[in-house]
Amino acid sequence: MDFSRTDFPPGFLFGAATSSYQIEGHGVGGAGSTHWDDFAATPGNVVRGESGRRACDHYQRYEEDLDLAAAMGLDAYRFSTSWARVLPEGRGTPNPEGLDFYDRLVDAMLARGLKPFATLYHWELPSPLADLGGWRNRDIAGWFADFTAVIMERIGDRVHAAAPINEPWCVAWLSHFLGLHAPGLRDIRAAARAMHHVGLAHGRAIQAMRAMGMTNLGCVTNHEFAAPVDDTAEAAAAAELYDGIYNRWFLGGIRNGEYPADVLAGLGRHLPEGWQNDMATISEPVDWLGLNYYTRKLIAPGQSGLWGDLREHVGDLPQTTMGWEIFPEGLYHFLTRVQADYARGLPIYVTENGMSADAPVHGAQQADPDRIAYLESHLGQVRRAVAEGADVRGYFIWSLLDNYEWALGYDKRFGLIHVDFETLERTPKASYDALKSALSRS
């Protein structure tokens, strides 16, 4: 790879990211059922009906995985804690095995010199809470704050940084309006409530962690560059609204204590009554901002004429196996925009960036030149933003391992390390070696 550490500010952290349900194996260790298990068990939702039941069996192989992360020369590791592993019923009695697991996991990171970046929720809502309405139910903010206290009482003294919720847009919009992730709803009222409650839960979790004396607390939002599909005014308006829902809603709430007016115009009447009173909690001060970035979309208005009917088109840039266009300039765009509009002195991390590429011939090391090029070009855009004053402090690659890619199952491979899902054997890819030599270069 065409960089060395000296191309980045002193102390810049290089890391890899994973999430609990995607790698641990939810069938072991006493984890409770999650809405992802239910969603995956419903025909038509997930490719081949695959679930996170076994995944990478990281629950039992975490030491080997962290050995590989450390041997690459990484400084930090971003992981998530499964609510259903810690509290199988979502509330009430904790699962001691679950708490012990995260305790061991954090110690294993520290023993290898990896800074633990914890995310409390990366999408595996306990089924009993889904039964109560999940993200549609305002009570989720309290349930989540309680879960936060339980897990952080165990590991909060040793994590380097913590963020409550991974990608609020996916939790709310993708899952309750577009219906593509659990719980698979397509309902504007459900979506509006989820869009609000996810922020409220974030704020309550921040308060819970502050009350425990924790520091270095942040948020992790995802961003997609939205460009109009053509030069009509309708397409421009559609792209602007897409940008509002996707890129401005959550940071507007969390950082500025207000939602963007263009999104409120459509969503406002579906929000819970008195939502304005929650904005102070939602905008509880944080210490850093994490951005996840992968791609751009070309946006067109839908045919229905209904608010929020937006169509995504794929342009003619090279694509990953997800069908996502590779558009590194988008990362620069969001880093500079967040620096200008939301950071106000807070450091920024790229908490996810990476690409899916095809699997190797069985047993052989995968030459993944496309991933190497993707990472180089996006790191180039990070440098460009830093040179222009963006206070970017770290970059996490999605992902350490090939894993369960949600509704697309196991054949979308994002890992620096190949996983054979039959034997569970791990094999570092060429990108792993390239990153390792770049990080060791002086």
* Pick 38 or 352: Cβ nearer ligand FCB: 352
175 binds ligand FCB (CB under 6 A): no
Beta strands in 54-157 (DSSP E): 76-80, 115-121
402 binds ligand FCB (CB under 6 A): no
Among 135, 143, 250, 398, contact with ligand FCB (rule: CB under 6 A): 398
* Pick 50 or 167: Cβ nearer ligand FCB: 167
* Pick 19 or 283: Cβ nearer ligand FCB: 19
Q: Which DSSP category does 416 fall into?
A: S
The span from the CA of 267 to the CA of 247, in Å, is 15
Q: How far is CA 177 from the centre of its chain?
A: 18
247 binds ligand FCB (CB under 6 A): no
Token couple for 146: 């309680």
* Pick 91 or 248: Cβ nearer ligand FCB: 248
What region does 275 belong to: left with phi over 0, alpha with psi -120 to 50, or beta? alpha
303 CB neighbour count, 10 Å cutoff: 8
405 binds ligand FCB (CB under 6 A): yes
Q: Is the dihedral of CA 36, 42, 48, 54 positive or negative?
A: positive
Query: Could you say which residues in the range 284-303 bind ligand FCB, by CB under 6 A?
Result: 292
Query: Could you say which residues in the range 6-25 bind ligand FCB, by CB under 6 A?
Result: 19, 22
* Pick 166 or 175: Cβ nearer ligand FCB: 166
* Pick 259 or 414: Cβ nearer ligand FCB: 414
Query: Could you say which residues in the range 212-241 bind ligand FCB, by CB under 6 A?
Result: 222
117 binds ligand FCB (CB under 6 A): no
CA dihedral 430, 436, 440, 442 (to 10 degrees): 50
On whether the CB atoms of residues 38 and 124 are closer than 8 A, the answer is no
Q: Which stretch binds ligand FCB (CB under 6 A): 8-16, 141-149, 162-170, 237-245?
A: 162-170
Token couple for 415: 């890992």
CA dihedral 110, 406, 326, 308 (to 10 degrees): -120
Query: Could you say which residues in the range 408-437 bind ligand FCB, by CB under 6 A?
Result: 414
Q: Catalytic site residue 425?
A: no
On whether the CB atoms of residues 308 and 266 are closer than 8 A, the answer is yes
36 binds ligand FCB (CB under 6 A): no
- What are the angstrom distances between the C-alpha of 228 and each of 126, 301, 353, 403? 38, 9, 23, 33
Q: Which of 24, 167, 325, 405 is catalytic?
A: 167
167 binds ligand FCB (CB under 6 A): yes
Min CB(78)–ligand FCB separation in Å: 10
The span from the CA of 139 to the CA of 134, in Å, is 9
Q: Catalytic site residue 352?
A: yes
* Pick 22 or 95: Cβ nearer ligand FCB: 22
The span from the CA of 14 to the CA of 354, in Å, is 13
Q: How far is CA 300 from the centre of its chain?
A: 26
Min CB(122)–ligand FCB separation in Å: 6
Among 166, 283, 320, 366, contact with ligand FCB (rule: CB under 6 A): 166
Query: Could you say which residues in the range 186-205 bind ligand FCB, by CB under 6 A?
Result: none
The span from the CA of 247 to the CA of 263, in Å, is 11
Looking at the annotation, which residues are catalytic?
167, 352
Binding site for ligand FCB (CB under 6 A): 19, 22, 166-167, 170, 222, 292, 352, 398, 405-406, 414
